[in-house]
């Protein structure tokens, strides 16, 4: 017998925010297919909860055939997917290169995961939801798809020993994903598939003090986000409490984009 809740396909489930989403969604009674191109990360995320609540899957979301196989595997293990969270995002090898010499190969690689991947996922997992007249899709954006990064906060900023910035491809891919979100909300609204976005602000994950201080000052709440604070917004959009919410962007950024 299938328990209450949805079968959720969560991409990038092995990452910082994906791990927190796995816990939050399992807590809300959903079954989570934790999908990542790194199986070890997906497995670690799934192991945080009961084995009936989450299962790990290795899949590159830019590979259409692999997504079709994934739909079959998840369907037989957890039941038909009725919720999709497109959370995966890629950091290519030269991700932090300056704009003028940013390699085209890196541009294409990031676009493929951040924008084309969610489109493919929507084709493969959204269409059956439309046929079943029930489903929820959530795309994970970024504040830098809404506003430009303040270049001044990257002075002296480091993460894992490397200088960091936000490349143009990241902003462009996330802005595009917001366009796709609204398009799909309109396309499938009349058949009961809700499509929304969650926009996280910067999540603390070990950035150096210089960055944390400079970033925190840009927010109204004076701090970075915790992954759980993004996960709970996703769980809300998935819930019956959000039954009349579609085509919206829930911005969880401590106020950064509001002033
Ligand atoms: N962390 C933040 O501060 C922050 C802020 C704003 C938005 N976001 C967004 O939130 C989402 C999650 O971010 P995160 O910090 O957890 O990132 P993360 O890098 O920790 O996790 C991303 C995961 O996606 C996986 N992935 C990458 N390419 C893939 C592909 N082609 N197929 C399948 N899996 C793939 C990676 O292996 C990784 O586990 C992303 O969309 C990101 O852009 C994050």
pLDDT tens-digit series, residues 74-105: 999 999 999 999 999 999 999 999 999 999 99
Is the whole model's pTM more than 0.85, yes or no? yes
In a domain, 248, yes or no: yes
What end-to-end distance do the CA atoms of the chain give, in Å?
Answer: 50
Residue 1 pLDDT class (50, 70, 90 cuts): very low
Q: What is the pLDDT of residue 178?
A: 98
Our mutation pick for probing the ligand 1 site, out of 24, 89, 172, counting the most ligand atoms within 8 A of Cβ, is 89
Is residue 196 assigned to a domain? yes
- Mean pLDDT for 196-219 is 97
Nearest CA owner, ligand 1 atom 30: 60
Question: Which residue in this structure is represented by tokens 């989570």?
Answer: 32
In this prediction, residue 2 has a pLDDT band, given cuts at 50, 70 and 90, of very low
- Does residue 2 fall inside a structural domain? no
Whole-number Å distance, alpha carbon 91 to ligand 1 midpoint, is: 8
DSSP annotation of 225 reads: B
Mean of pLDDT values over 185-206 = 98
> Between helices 168-188 and 104-111, what is the axis angle to 10°?
30
User: SS3 letters for 170-206?
Assistant: HHHHHHHHHHHHHHHHHHHHHHCEEEEEEEECCECCC
Catalytic, out of 144, 154, 170, 215: 170
**pLDDT given at position 3:** 45
Q: Is 136 left (phi over 0), alpha (psi -120 to 50) or beta?
A: beta
- Is 170 tagged catalytic? yes
> What is the per-residue pLDDT across 43-75, written as a single tens digit (0 to 9) for each?
999 999 999 999 999 999 999 999 999 999 999
- State residue 139's pLDDT score: 99
Residue 144 lies inside a defined structural domain of this protein: yes
Name residues whose C-beta falls within 8 Å of residue 244's C-beta, 6 or more positions apart in sequence.
none
> Which mutation among 17, 138, 219, 225 tests ligand 1's pocket best, with the greatest number of atoms within 8 A of CB?
17
Q: Is the CA virtual torsion 76, 77, 83, 86 positive or negative?
A: negative
pLDDT, mean over the chain:
96
Distance CA 179, CA 141 (A): 11
Which is the closest atom of ligand 1 to the Cα of 41?
A: 39
Domain that holds residue 91: 7-258
Q: Percentage of the chain with pLDDT > 90?
A: 95
Tens digits of residue pLDDT in 18-42: 999 999 999 999 999 999 999 999 9
Q: What is the pLDDT of residue 77?
A: 97
Residues in the chain: 259
| Alpha carbon nearest to ligand 1 atom 25, residue | 12
Model confidence at 236, in pLDDT bands (50, 70, 90)? very high
Residue whose Cα lies nearest atom 32 of ligand 1: it is: 60
Residue 17 alpha carbon, nearest atom of ligand 1: 16
Residue 167 has pLDDT above 80, yes or no: yes
Number of domains in the chain: 1
Within a domain: 1: no
CA of 124 to the centre of ligand 1 (A): 20
Give the CATH number of the domain where residue 217 resides. 3.40.50.720
Which residues contact ligand 1 via a Cβ below 6 A? 11-12, 14-18, 36-38, 41, 60-62, 87-90, 113, 117, 140, 142, 200, 202-203
Query: Atom 15 in ligand 1: which residue has the minimum CA distance?
Result: 16
Residue 74: which H helix or E strand, with range?
helix 64-78
Residue to mutate, 41, 88, 113, 160, ligand 1, most ligand atoms under 8 Å from C-beta:
88
């Amino acid at each position: 017998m299938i328990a209450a809740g949805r079968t959720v396909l969560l991409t990038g489930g092995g990452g910082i925010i994906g791990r927190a989403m796995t816990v939050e969604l399992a807590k809300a009674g959903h079954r989570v297919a934790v999908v990542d191109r790194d199986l070890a990360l997906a497995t670690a995320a799934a192991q945080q909860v009961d084995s009936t609540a989450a299962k790990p899957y290795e899949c590159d979301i830019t590979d259409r055939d692999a997504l079709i196989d994934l739909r079959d595997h998840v369907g037989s293990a957890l039941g038909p997917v009725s919720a999709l969270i497109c959370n995966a995002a890629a950091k290519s090898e030269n991700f932090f290169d300056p704009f003028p010499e940013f390699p085209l190969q890196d541009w294409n690689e990031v676009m493929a995961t951040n924008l084309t991947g969610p489109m493919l996922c929507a084709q493969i997992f959204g269409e059956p939801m439309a046929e079943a007249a029930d489903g929820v899709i959530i795309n994970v954006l970024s504040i830098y798809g809404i506003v430009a990064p303040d270049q001044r906060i990257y002075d002296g900023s480091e993460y894992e020993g490397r200088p960091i910035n936000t490349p143009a491809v990241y902003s462009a891919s996330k802005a595009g994903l917001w366009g796709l979100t609204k398009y799909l909300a309109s396309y499938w609204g009349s058949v009961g598939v809700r499509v929304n976005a969650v926009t996280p602000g910067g999540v603390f994950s070990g950035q150096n003090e210089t960055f944390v201080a400079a970033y925190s000052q840009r927010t109204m709440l004076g701090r970075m986000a915790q992954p759980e604070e993004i996960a709970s917004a996703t769980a809300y959009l998935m819930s019956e409490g959000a039954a009349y919410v579609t085509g919206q962007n829930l911005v969880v950024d401590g106020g950064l984009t509001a002033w």
